[in-house]
Structure 1
Amino acid sequence: MKKNITSYLSSLCMIALMFSCSTDDKVVDDVINSVTAGAVLRTTTVNNTDMPLGDDSVSFSIEIEEQDVEGGALLSQVNVFLGFKDNTDDGIDTDIAEVFVETITADQFYEGPFGLPRAMLNYPITMMRSLLGQDADAPQGGDQYQIRLELELTDGRVFGVDNAGGIITGGFFNSPFFYNANVTCPFDTSLAETFSYTSYDMGPGDGSGGQQATGFGPYSSTITWTEQFDEDDELIEGLYGTPDFSFGMFEDVWGDSPATSPNAQILWFCSELLPQGADQYSDSYTYTITNVDGPTMTIMWVNTWGDIGTVDLTREGNADWPIIFGGTD
């Protein structure tokens, strides 16, 4: 055996009750007073707020409705601003301060079904990146484009996220003045398939994260990743079982059985492949994708024992890797 060691290591009821008491009357009064004193931009339709990586055809798209005590007559204009929030935990901050997008004047609004002014906000992802001076490959899954609205009335008053109360932004009127367009990672194909691979530059670890030697290989074989299901037998998209974290390194270098366990899995997260669980010795793995060329992906890997290797992993049928990895699928 490798290293000769074994490690052991009831919402509706609540609403009805709320609106039947004096406290509730106060809430309703607050809402009405808020509109009487100012104005709101109600979100009437959300067409799309997801920005899938690799898809330049998508747009942030919502419809808003202006409400004020004069039935929309106080509307002067709405100013739109755009920023970017980096939520990727890689030690590099790529936040972008907000920039001005446009002013939508009252005459650009159209009359809605209740006689109030409405407007459609539609901003293509390519336009948003251009306004922010952002490269196409800069956003990562989990990042956010942030759209802020500012409502100006004919009497000079201005309303926005900073002076709108919680009842207005998140409650009865659904008028947040602020929207997140979330960068998402679409699963347009499955990686549950049989790959061919060639491993090289392999080296046995020394138990402390270093290597005893390097340069082993090449070693070629195939490997099959399998679909995974939750406790309700529902498919878990992007999660695959693997029979060998090491792509043959254990067999070729250690003369051991494949590096796996019942919980050995590969998680496809955006442009990364993240090993989940551990092998039979409780060692965990890190994969670093260094190149993608059509159907072949090059991965450098290391585990907590110090074992290392590089593998050229080729998709079944020579299909290109999905575009999110840098392929052309």
Structure 2
Amino acid sequence: MKMIKYSFGLLMGALIFLSSCRDFVEPNIPYTDFDTAAYLRTISRTSTTFNFFNLANSKFALTLEAVDAEDGNTVETVEIRVRHRRLIPGVGLEYTPANDVLVRTLQKSDFAPNSESRFLRVSFEIPASEAISAVGLTPAQIEGADVFEFRLVLNDKFGRRFSSDNVTTNVAGAPFYASPFQYNVSVICPSDLAGTYNFTQSNMQSIYGSCPGTISGTTTFTAIASTPGAYRITDGTFGFWNCYGDSWGSGNVRINDACGKLTMSGSDKYSASYSMTVVSVNAQDLVIQWLNSDGETGLVTIKSNSGKPWPAGLR
């Protein structure tokens, strides 16, 4: 009898437990009354940089998909807003203007069906010139590494507003949603100086030896993958040491291209440091004066290669 009572108690306890679990996993919630939102899925980032050397032809361009309970049909407008950002060394970030401004508004009619999904899509382009004008600047005031912050604001037919200030982290960053509502467009300075060039050198001076007249040879600029715009060069003295019986050896000197501003850095096998000044430049000739901390120097004319002139704007 004692065993029967014990077994009956276990059975009742199990039934109560299972009943409580069932109530937990299937709550009585009116799902049909849930409010649903809307977001803009990023389908393609066609262009998200501005070329410092070609602002006239640069653009910010996206393809977006409107996702909501009505396959994108709740969207009324999408505001495209922008502001300019610059990092001031020792100061911090400077914004122009302080708050973003409207640069364009997409209408519901701009969204159209597509063959890849049931949601409506739109593609747009904002020329760099339009963004620059919208923030109250001119192309001459733009610098390499500047950033244009583009922010989207989706307004729907229910009077609701969705943007970067009320989107969840998951919707903004998860690959499925891909809806940050904000896109940072950097002003970049593409650099393409890698190659082997002919040079001539004159006006060489040193306390260790001399090399009167002119010498010539080739130098190779090798791009450094880890540092965009940096190029390791074959010989920081451009053959000057050969004149008095020495050789370059294990020296490591580079030329750096920062939006067209050329500098030299690094050191030779004796730990002497290197710098340079751009004397003049045109499509055919880049003329530099190199100098090391041992007082050695030379005037070098580096010839461009056929079909690849020195870029305009080098200095």
Query: Normalising by the residue count of structure 2, what TM-score does the alignment of the two structures yield?
Result: 0.69
Q: 1:298 to 1:38 in 2, by over 3 A?
A: same
Task: Specify the alignment match of 1:11 in structure 2.
Answer: none
Aligned 8 A contact 1:190 1:238 in 2: no
Aligned 8 A contact 2:111 2:121 in 1: yes
Task: Specify the alignment match of 2:163 in structure 1.
Answer: 160
Q: 1:53 to 1:173 in 2, by over 3 A?
A: same
The one-letter amino acid paired with 2:139 is D
Is 1:245 aligned with 2:236? yes
Q: 2:160 & 2:213 partners in 1: Cα distance?
A: 72
Q: 1:224 & 1:92 partners in 2: Cα distance?
A: 43
Q: Secondary structure at the match of 1:289?
A: strand
Please give the per-residue CA displacement for 1:63-122, whole angstroms capped at 9, x wherever unaligned. Answer: 111122333232121111122333586989775334321111212222234332221121
Q: How far is 1:315 from its partner?
A: 1.3
Aligned 8 A contact 1:48 1:62 in 2: yes
Identity of aligned residues (%): 24
Aligned 8 A contact 1:260 1:278 in 2: no
Aligned 8 A contact 1:192 1:240 in 2: no
Query: Normalising by the residue count of structure 1, what TM-score does the alignment of the two structures yield?
Result: 0.66
Of 139, 143, 147, the match for 1:144 = 147
Task: Specify the alignment match of 1:284 in structure 2.
Answer: 273
Pairing 1:226-265 to 2, within 5 Å after superposition: 226=220, 228=222, 240-247=231-238, 257=246, 261-265=250-254
Q: 2:288 & 2:91 partners in 1: Cα distance?
A: 22
Deviates more, 1:110-119 or 1:174-183: 110-119
Unaligned runs of 5+ in 1: 1-31, 205-215
Q: CA RMSD in A?
A: 4.0
Q: 1:127 to 1:76 in 2, by over 3 A?
A: same
Q: 1:316 to 1:77 in 2, by over 3 A?
A: closer
Of 96, 110, 113, the match for 2:112 = 110
Q: 1:226 & 1:248 partners in 2: Cα distance?
A: 12
Q: Secondary structure at the match of 1:192?
A: strand
Task: Specify the alignment match of 2:69 in structure 1.
Answer: 69
Q: Secondary structure at the match of 2:53?
A: coil
Higher relative contact order (CA 8 A, sep 6+): 1
Q: 1:176 & 1:72 partners in 2: Cα distance?
A: 17
Q: 1:241 & 1:72 partners in 2: Cα distance?
A: 52
Task: Specify the alignment match of 1:51 in structure 2.
Answer: 50
Q: How far is 1:219 from its partner?
A: 6.0
Q: 1:91 & 1:245 partners in 2: Cα distance?
A: 35
Q: How far is 1:36 from its partner?
A: 4.8
Aligned 8 A contact 2:197 2:305 in 1: no
Aligned 8 A contact 2:199 2:300 in 1: no
Aligned 8 A contact 1:227 1:235 in 2: no
Aligned 8 A contact 1:85 1:145 in 2: yes
Please give the per-residue CA displacement for 1:202-255, whole angstroms capped at 9, x wherever unaligned. Answer: 687xxxxxxxxxxx999643352225488xxx9998654434424577789xx6
Is 1:307 aligned with 2:307? no
Aligned 8 A contact 1:199 1:248 in 2: no
Aligned 8 A contact 1:51 1:58 in 2: yes
Q: Secondary structure at the match of 1:277?
A: strand
